Chain A
C-alpha cells in the first residue's frame, strides 16, 4: 500500500512501521514539522530531554537494555552538534541508534543559514553510515534503510539528516516491505571449517580461557544462553570485557571476573598464561591487551567477530571466525557435541588449580574503615541490598565505574550500561533515564562519581518530568578520582585541577529538581540510607561521601603486560615511570 503524505508524516509513519515506541528528543526550528506530527498521534512516545547529548545517551540506555535500536530526534545545527558525543559513544560501543536530525531547507544548505551545520560531514566519521535526504520520495525508504544498517552486522549509530522543506513536501510513502534496502547484508554464519578447527583446539586445550565481550550482548539473549552452555559444558574458565558483563553470570562457577586494566588478578593471569584463548565478540581493546608484544605470548588465539576489520587489528589471531556470535556458538556447540564432547580433562584440572591459587591472592581486597565510607564498601552494600531486584545498572566514567564492574554482580545480559570505548563522563544519568523509560517497573541505578554526574545533571529534570524513579548513587570523593589516581602514580602527586572546590549540596539540588536527596557519610548509616533510597518511589540523588584518596586496584599500568599488575598501594611506589606516563 502506498500513500501520499508529507515528509514529516512519513518520518512518523516509518518509525511506527519500524516498531518504535519511544523517541528521545529536543525540538527546534528545523524539526518543527515532525514535532507537529508527533503531537497529533499517540503510538510513539516522545521523551523531552534537557540537552541533545542526553537524548543520545538515553537512547543508548534504552537500546542496550532492550536489544532494540534507540531513536533520537534533534534539530539542526547545535541540536546535531550536541548529539555528536553521544553518537561517537554509540559507535565505539556498537550500540544501534537511529538519529534523526533536522536540517535547514535544501535551498539554503551551504549558505551559512541560521542553525545550519554540515551534519552529515560532521557525523561521517562517528556514524556507521549517514544520509542527507534531499528528495521527499526518499524519506521513508531512507529511514527503513537506516534501521537496517543500524541493527544488522556490527550494530552502530546512523544519522538521517532531514531538511525542513523535505519535511513539508508531499511524497509517496514506502512501507518497509517495499523499500529497497540496498546491498548491505553482512555474513552471520561462520565458516564451518574454521568452526571445526576451533572444536579441535577446544578438545586439546589444557589451559583454555574464554574471553567474551559486548558482541555477545549485541547478538541477543540467545547468544548469552549459548555462551553459558559452552562454558558449563566444557568447564572452561571465562572472563569478560567491561562491555560484556552479564553475558555469563557473575555467580557462575567458571567466572573469573572482568579482565583488563582494572580486571581481576586471576582473569589477567589466566589470559597471560593460557594456551588457548577464545575471543567471543570482543575486540582486543588496549584496555584489555596492555603491551601488545607481551600479550598472552604462549597461546593460540581464536577470534569470533562479525566485523572483519576487528580481525588482526591489534592482535594477530591464529583462527579468525567471521560471523554473528549466536550463529557461530550454535554451530560450535553442535560440532563439539557430535564429536563426543571432548576436553583435555587432566590438563584442565591442573589449570583450575593454578587459577584457584591466583584467586587466593584476593585481588579486590581493600582496607576497611569505620571512619570513612570506602567506595568499594558502598558498592558491596549496594550490591547486597539490591541483589534479587529486577535491577539495571548504568555508570558514569572513572574509578566508580571500575569499582562497580568489580563489586557488583551481573547475572543477565542487558543489565549493565556503561560507556566503555569512548569513556564518556556524563553518560550514566541520561542512560539511566533511557533504561527506566524502557523498564518502568525495574530498579534502575546510576553508579556515579560526582564529577561525571555534574556533566549531564540537567537530565534530572527529565527524570522528574516523566516520574522515572532512577536512583543516582553518587560516590562523592570531591575529586576526579581516576585523574587523581594517575597523577598520584604517574605525575609525582601533583594534583593539577583534579578536584572541585565548589560542589553543590546534592540534597538541596535534589529538592530544587523536585526529587529526593539523601546524604550519608558514616559507614554505620550506609545500609539504612541505601534502604531509604530503594524504598522511595521516585528519583533519588544519593550523595555518598566516600574516602577521598582511595585508588582503584588491581591496575595494569599502561603499556605493561598482564602479569605486571599492581595489586595495592604497597606495590605502586615507583612502579610506573616516565615511559608509561605518555600513555592514556
Chain B
C-alpha cells in the first residue's frame, strides 16, 4: 500500500535484540545474594544465569547462618548497566532469595579471594619464589625439597599478579575460592 510509504527491505534489526545497539560499556559487579539454604537453591541461581545468558565471573557459596539455614552467594558478573539491573531484578524475584546486595554500587566494599598455589622448582628459582611469596604475604602451607604450596588471600587482581609471577618459576597448579565480599562500615 503505497499510501503508507513502506520503505522496502528495512527489516534488519532483531526484535529480540534487547540490548542497546549503541554498545554501552560492560561493567563488573559483585553481588551478595542471601538465600534460604534449601535443596537446589544454587542450581536455581546458576540456572537463571545460564538460562538468560548472563555471565558468571566468579561464584562462592556457603551457609552463613546455620540456625536460620541461610546461605550467602557472592557472584561476580559482567554486563551492561541494563543487564546488571535485570540480573538483580531476576534474582530478587526468586522465592528463596531474601536480599540482593550490589556491593559495587552500595558503597565501598572489601573483596577477598583465597588461593592455593603449587610451585615446583629448585635452586635460584626456589629462592625467588619464596622471596616473592614474602612480598605478597603468602604463607607456605606445604613444602617438599622441590616444591611449595602457598596460601594467599587478597583481591582477584593480587592473586592474578602473584600467579603470573609464579608461572616462570615453576607454577604447577592453582586452586581459587572465588570472591567473598562485604560492604565496609557498620551496616549489613
Contacts and interface: CB of A to CB of B under 8 A. Distances in A.
Interface of A: 120-121, 124-125, 128-129, 132, 149, 153-154, 182-184, 186, 286, 289-293, 307-309, 311-314, 316, 557-560, 564-568, 570-571, 574-584
Contacts of B86: 309, 312-313
B8 A292 contact: no
A560 B13 CA distance: 8
Contacts of B167: none
24 contacts: A121-B40, A121-B43, A125-B51, A129-B94, A129-B96, A149-B95, A153-B93, A183-B98, A291-B13, A293-B13, A309-B89, A312-B85, A313-B86, A557-B11, A559-B12, A565-B4, A567-B4, A570-B1, A571-B4, A574-B8, A576-B11, A577-B8, A577-B11, A583-B14
B95 A292 contact: no
B90 A309 contact: yes
A293 B11 contact: no
Interface in B58-98: 82, 85-86, 89-90, 92-96, 98
Given A183-B98, A290-B15, A575 B6 contact: yes
A583 B15 contact: yes
B53 interface: no
B16 A560 contact: no
A181 B47 CA distance: 24
B144 interface: no
Contact of A580 (B11, B40, B44, B94): B11
Contacts of A577: 8-9, 11
B188 interface: no
A559 B95 contact: no
* Most chain B C-beta atoms within 10 Å of own C-beta, residue among A184, A292, A579: A292
B17 interface: yes
A579 B9 contact: yes
A130 to B, nearest CB: 8
Interface of B: 1-2, 4, 6-18, 21, 36, 39-40, 43-44, 47, 51, 82, 85-86, 89-90, 92-96, 98
Contacts of A128: 95
A401 B84 CA distance: 36
- Can you list the 4 inter-chain pairs with the closest CB atoms, starting with the nearest? A580-B11, A579-B12, A309-B89, A571-B1
Nearest to A128: B95
Contacts of A149: 95
B1 A567 contact: yes
A186 B92 CA distance: 10
A293 B85 contact: no
A121 B18 CA distance: 28
Contacts of A316: 82
* Most chain A C-beta atoms within 10 Å of own C-beta, residue among B13, B39, B82: B13
A576 B11 CA distance: 7
Given A559-B15, A580-B12, 19 more contacts: A129-B95, A153-B93, A186-B93, A291-B15, A292-B17, A292-B18, A308-B89, A309-B92, A311-B89, A313-B18, A313-B89, A316-B82, A558-B15, A565-B4, A567-B1, A574-B9, A577-B8, A579-B12, A583-B16
